[in-house]
Structure 1
Amino acid sequence: MALPPNPAPLNPAMAATFAPPVPEARRWIEGVVFPPERPLLNVSQAAPVDPPPEALRRAIAESVIERPEMHLYGPVLGMGALRAEVAAQWSAAYGGRIEPAQVAITQGCNQAFCAVMSTLAGAGDEVILPTPWYFNHKMWLDMQGVRAVPLATGDSLIPEAEAARALIGPRTRAIVLVSPNNPGGVEYPAETLAAFRDLAREAGLALIVDETYRDFDGREGAPHDLFADARWDDTLIQLYSFSKAYRLTGHRVGAITASVARLAEVEKFLDTVAICPSQIGQYAALWGMRNLGPWVAGERAEILARRDAMRAGFAGLPGWRLLGCGAYFAYVEHPDPRPSPEFARALVQEAGILTLPGTMFMPEGDPAGQRQLRIAFANIDVPAITELFARLAALAPAGASA
């Protein structure tokens, strides 16, 4: 649908930024009728589709009635009790020392990224992003006139610090890593993260590690030892989301862990954009952290079971190649002769599947994206995953013969 011309001036950087991928994909199903025997399998967006557990919903409801502060402005950098809880739990989980003053609460992890990046880079600066990248990271950099420098990861989807070294220039300000990765699903080895920390420190850059999906990491124990470094806050900035672990997507609660000096600059951004995070969402996150440990462990076990079902399904699907699988995502190479944007749209009609093409996660013109898809399996259970593979298998002969 063609949009009417904008009568007012438009920021060129905004005009040059691509449309949000998830809403764009949703438009592909407008007007499409899915028969009862083949309902839509929506694997386009990585988000829980169920509300929080009842105990948390009741705690939220009680807070709305009984806590007047839920309806007032709070501290710009977040509720003190929640900052302290994050600091304590992160210190224990990662074997390091994190102070409450080194934690800030934000309106979701996307805002955390925007806030941090606003303190690091301005128009004309550069930030290194491994590809395939998280599209919202790329979009924010585009809007700010910051150049995203792609770091290819090859078939392993694991970036290499030495490859990043060659991309560092005089305008480079930061390296951004996402682990477990969105969209690739891979979990970065601790050695990889340590190598990037060392590189960033040597080059005087910030290392941003987005751990939105840390609660669904398939490994036991701490996934890295970055916080065990006594000087961690001279280089490391960690981002986190409460949305996935506690099903709080609609409440928008995220966190930044960084130096006190960095958060003083972040405060300027947050005060201007939101004044303070949602009090209700923060209370929900705090209650969840204090009371839902066993429940989150059960959620993790369910996601890992779905991961295993995805791995098994692709192992038996001719022509398809699984590049990465973990947390909420499978990132795959498809056998169909059509480019991934065309193939992804065709899957809606031909198989009742809504997924995202790899071109939404890659630099424009990168040929790898034309062969790739991201499948977000967090919102489909194991029986639905079985159905997903039955539908893909029905397409396999045509794709394999091409």
Structure 2
Amino acid sequence: MTVAPLNPALARTFAPPVMEARGWLDGVTFPPERPLINVSQAAPIDPPPEGLRRAVAEAALNDPAAHLYGPVLGMTELRDELATQLGAHYGATLSGAQVAITQGCNQAFCATLATLAGPGDEVILPTPWYFNHKMWLDMASVKTVPLPAGPGLIPEPERAAGLITDRTRAIILVSPNNPGGAEYPAEVVRAFYDLCRDRGIALIVDETYRDFDSRTGPAHDLFHDPDWDRTFIHLYSFSKAYRLTGHRVGALVTSVGRIAEVEKFLDTVAICPNQLGQIGALWGMRNLGQWVAGERAEILARRAAMVQGLAGLDGWKTLGCGAYFAYVEHPAAQDSPDFARRLVREAGVLLLPGTMFTPADDPSGRRQCRIAFANIDVPGIGALMGRLAALAI
């Protein structure tokens, strides 16, 4: 029997890492006195605040248009609100016409890359990388050029300059970083922007975790350049700030001309973003400023507990810690994938090995792990440290 062909680019793409890690739980029993501590995924598990849920529920019950196709680029009100608030935060004037609302920030990334690069083109991606970025580049047959991060997991513009070729279309930054937790200094982001502008390529900055940056005020000044949208593309997610992960609401901000190209992609892939999710995001932006500030304070307290706890573990080294993540070097003799599986069995801890965030030929990933601490409180972090300390290395 003849088998239908499989796209070789898709076949070469690795399996979803979080789903792979969940498979390690199969057949493992966690007693009531030692339940699983799951620090594998950076997604809020609590529901949104009641006011937001009521706004979504009321729309579902009383607004017939909430169940129909909406604008391909998203609700005008939400696009305008994001432009206004983002502009106020960064001290710039932005327009809703420069905003596209997407089905989550992953789709914002995919739509952006679809306007920039095709098979055989190259994109520079700092390592350790966010694995879904690498997966999309592989699926699109775009060559990923790894840029190993420097001290503090901060990528270095000078090193990136040496990787640019005539096939390079973009450099991608994530700050605060997933998986490393690093917050990129404003001068580093500016240096990357200047490099990309001068070399005629795009700078994509994914700011999914912007609301949990430990710094006050804007993290960079790129929007101040009157021609910023010729080079810089901003990505954002409403999922983390308002606990809307299941509703899939993200955004990208770029030039009006590129937005027109993004619209082609979005119309083909999803037709329009989730209407109820957009209603929730808009309500959140207009009503939850103080609540988000409280969420940020809690995340910063958990970050401090992580830094302190890891400092007390013999042999462990903290490479980066911020937003939802700590990225660490472990002291075990095993490579990180085997060590991660062992942690499930012997410590009741599920985390992700560094090999999921690095090229296959990069040995650093075999000594590293990512700990996503957003869903465990300070006492839970203490329990996590206790289990790691008790493990026989």
Q: Given the alignment, which residue of 127, 141, 159 partners 1:145?
A: 141
Give the TM-score normalised by the residue count of structure 1: 0.97
- Kindly provide the amino acid, as one letter, of the partner of residue 211 in structure 1: E
Distance 1:268 1:206 in 2: 19
2:350 aligned with 1:354: yes
1:13–1:144 Cα contact (<8 Å) kept? yes
1:15-52 CA-partner distances (Å, limit 9, x unpaired): 00000000000000012110111100000000101000
Corresponding residue number in structure 2 for 1:311:
307
Distance 1:83 1:6 in 2: 48
Distance 1:307 1:10 in 2: 44
Matches within 5 A, 1:99-114: 99-114=95-110
- Kindly provide the amino acid, as one letter, of the partner of residue 102 in structure 1: Q
- Kindly provide the amino acid, as one letter, of the partner of residue 136 in structure 2: W
2:327 aligned with 1:331: yes
Q: Given the alignment, which residue of 26, 30, 36 partners 1:40?
A: 36
2:25 aligned with 1:29: yes
Q: Secondary structure at the match of 2:85?
A: helix
Distance 1:258 1:24 in 2: 34
2:137–2:144 Cα contact (<8 Å) kept? yes
Structure 2 unmatched ranges of 5 or more: none
2:160 aligned with 1:164: yes
Distance 2:191 2:227 in 1: 15
Q: Secondary structure at the match of 2:178?
A: coil
2:150–2:156 Cα contact (<8 Å) kept? no
Corresponding residue number in structure 2 for 1:297:
293
Q: What displacement does 1:155 show?
A: 3.8
2:369 aligned with 1:394: no
Q: What displacement does 1:120 show?
A: 0.4
Distance 2:14 2:340 in 1: 18
Q: Secondary structure at the match of 2:370?
A: strand
Structure 1 unmatched ranges of 5 or more: none
Q: Secondary structure at the match of 2:34?
A: coil
- Kindly provide the amino acid, as one letter, of the partner of residue 299 in structure 1: E
Distance 2:277 2:116 in 1: 27
- Kindly provide the amino acid, as one letter, of the partner of residue 109 in structure 2: F
- Kindly provide the amino acid, as one letter, of the partner of residue 206 in structure 1: A
Q: Given the alignment, which residue of 243, 251, 262 partners 2:239?
A: 243
Corresponding residue number in structure 2 for 1:265:
261
Distance 2:29 2:151 in 1: 37
- Kindly provide the amino acid, as one letter, of the partner of residue 100 in structure 2: A
Distance 1:349 1:109 in 2: 33
- Kindly provide the amino acid, as one letter, of the partner of residue 383 in structure 2: E
Q: Given the alignment, which residue of 41, 62, 69 partners 1:66?
A: 62
Corresponding residue number in structure 1 for 2:53:
57
Distance 1:281 1:257 in 2: 19
Corresponding residue number in structure 2 for 1:222:
218
Distance 1:181 1:142 in 2: 21
- Kindly provide the amino acid, as one letter, of the partner of residue 258 in structure 2: R
Distance 1:83 1:58 in 2: 22
Q: Given the alignment, which residue of 112, 117, 123 partners 1:116?
A: 112
- Runs (4+) of structure 1 exceeding 3 A deviation are none
2:239–2:248 Cα contact (<8 Å) kept? yes
2:178 aligned with 1:191: no
Report % sequence identity. Answer: 72
Q: What displacement does 1:365 show?
A: 1.6
1:236-289 CA-partner distances (Å, limit 9, x unpaired): 000000000000000000000000011100000000000000110001000000
RMSD value, Cα: 1.0
2:14 aligned with 1:18: yes
Q: Secondary structure at the match of 2:217?
A: coil
Q: Secondary structure at the match of 1:130?
A: strand
1:324–1:332 Cα contact (<8 Å) kept? yes
